Amino acid sequence: MMISRLRRLSLAALAATAFSTVLHAQSPQTAPADSQKHAAALVEFDKAGVKADKTYRIAYLTECVDNPYCVQRLNGIKDAVAKFGLELKVFDAQWSLVSQTKTAQNAVAENFDGYIFGPLAGAPSCALWKSTLVPTGKPVATVTVPMCGDADYTPGLAGTITMQGPVHYQQLVDHAFASCTDKCQVAAIGGFVGSDLQNYWEAAIRNAAEKYPNAQVVVQEAANFDPRIAFQKTQDALTAHPDITVVVSNWDDMTRGIEQGVNASGRKAGTDVRIYSAGANKDTVAKIKAGSINASIALLPYEEGYYATITVLMGILGKGINGYVDEADLPEIVSTTGTTLITPENAAGYTAKY
C-alpha cells in the first residue's frame, strides 16, 4: 500500500513476521459478520457527536507520517480529535521497529488515556503491544493491518480498523484474472518481500492463479512500493514477455510507474495492457474514468484514522466495540458504490479523498 512501508525493518524482524503471516494468508478470509455491527456502532456514536465529559489524551503510535496514505490517516485522526474535544500527541516510528518500541515506551511513560497503534509487522508489533501497551489497561485500537497472526481482530484490543487484508487483495486479483477470457500472460508487481502486505499479496496471486487457469503469471516482482522501481520492472517484464496483457499492483503510487512503463514500451495502458491496482486515489480514479487504468480497490486512510479515534474514545468511555471493522462496511463505501472495487462502471459514484 504505502511507499517504503517497511524500508527500515531489519531482516530478522521481517523473517519473524513472515512465518506467522503466511499461516493465515494462505486462503482469503471473508470479513466477519460483526464488522457491519461494529461499523454501525461507530457511525452512530459519530452522528451523536457528543463531546466527552473531560479532555481525554490519546497517543498515536504511527509507523509513518510521510506519504499520502499516512497523511490522510493523520488528518482523519485530527478531525475526530477536534470534534470530540480530545488531545492528541503523535509518536512517529519512521518505519523503524526499534523506534516504534522506544516511542511506545515514551508514550506509556506519559500516561495517556488511550492509544491508536499502527503495527509495523505482525509478530514484533504484537509482542510490543503485549509487553508495553496491554499492562497500561488503557484501550488500544490498531489500524491498517492485523497482527499476532490473526486474520483481522486480536482479542484484547478496543478494535481493529483495516482495509488491507487477504479478502481485499483477493477481490482485486480475482477481478483482474477473470478478465482473461482467453489465455493471457500476467505480471504481478508487489511491495517488500517478507512483509505482511506482500504475503497477503502473494497468497492472493496464488489463489487466483488456481481459480483462473487462463491467467498465466509469467512475472512476479517486488518493487518496494516505489514507482521508479515499478517502472523499470514493468519495462523489463514487457521486454522478456511481450505477450503480457495484464499487470496487477497492490499500491496506486507504484502503479504510476507501471502505467508509464507500459506506455514507454509502445503499448497503450488500459487497452493493450490492462492494469489493476489498489488505493483508488484521486489520480487513479481519474485514470479509471479515462481508461488508462482498469480498476482499483478503494482504500480509506482518512476514515481509518477518524474511526480509530472514535474506537479508542468509546473504549475509554466503557462503550468499546472490542472487535473488527472492515472499512468496506463504512458509509463511504456502503452509501456510494457498495463495493470497494472501483471500475469504469462505478467510478463516477466514488469520490477519493487523497
Whichever domain contains 264, its CATH number is 3.40.50.2300
Average pLDDT of the segment spanning 337-347: 97
Q: Looking at the predicted structure, is the pLDDT value of residue 230 above 60? A: yes
Do 69 and 139 share a structural domain? yes
Do 304 and 160 share a structural domain? yes
What's the domain count of the chain? 2
pLDDT on residue 304: 97
Do 176 and 88 share a structural domain? no
- Comparing 16 with 61, which gets the higher pLDDT? 61
Q: Looking at the predicted structure, is the pLDDT value of residue 44 above 60? A: yes
Q: Looking at the predicted structure, is the pLDDT value of residue 10 above 50? A: no
Q: Looking at the predicted structure, is the pLDDT value of residue 156 above 90? A: yes
Q: Looking at the predicted structure, is the pLDDT value of residue 22 above 50? A: no
Residue range(s) defining the domain that contains residue 155: 31-164+300-330
Q: Looking at the predicted structure, is the pLDDT value of residue 192 above 90? A: no
CA separation for the pair 272, 112 (Å, rounded): 54
Using DSSP's 3-state secondary structure scheme, residue 176 falls into helix
Structural domain contains residue 348? no
Domain end (from 276, 297, 318): 297
Q: How confident is the model at residue 19 (pLDDT cuts 50, 70, 90)?
A: very low
Q: Looking at the predicted structure, is the pLDDT value of residue 266 above 70? A: yes
Q: How confident is the model at residue 33 (pLDDT cuts 50, 70, 90)?
A: low
Buried b (16+ CB within 10 A) or exposed e, 213-245: eebbbebbbbbbbbbebbbebbbebbeeeeebb
Do 126 and 179 share a structural domain? no
Do 40 and 137 share a structural domain? yes
CA separation for the pair 139, 24 (Å, rounded): 25
Q: How confident is the model at residue 353 (pLDDT cuts 50, 70, 90)?
A: confident
User: For the sheet containing 87-92, what is the strand order?
Assistant: 87-92, 57-62, 114-117, 140-144, 159-162, 323-326
Domain end (from 253, 274, 297): 297
Do 304 and 289 share a structural domain? no
The per-residue pLDDT for range 79-134, each reduced to its tens digit, is 999 999 999 999 999 988 899 999 999 999 999 999 999 998 889 999 999 999 99
Q: Looking at the predicted structure, is the pLDDT value of residue 300 above 70? A: yes
Residue of 32, 270, 282, 246 whose CA lies nearest to 155: 32
Average pLDDT of the segment spanning 233-242: 98
Distance in Å from the first CA to the final CA of the chain? 13
Do 183 and 147 share a structural domain? no
pLDDT on residue 95: 84
Do 214 and 132 share a structural domain? no
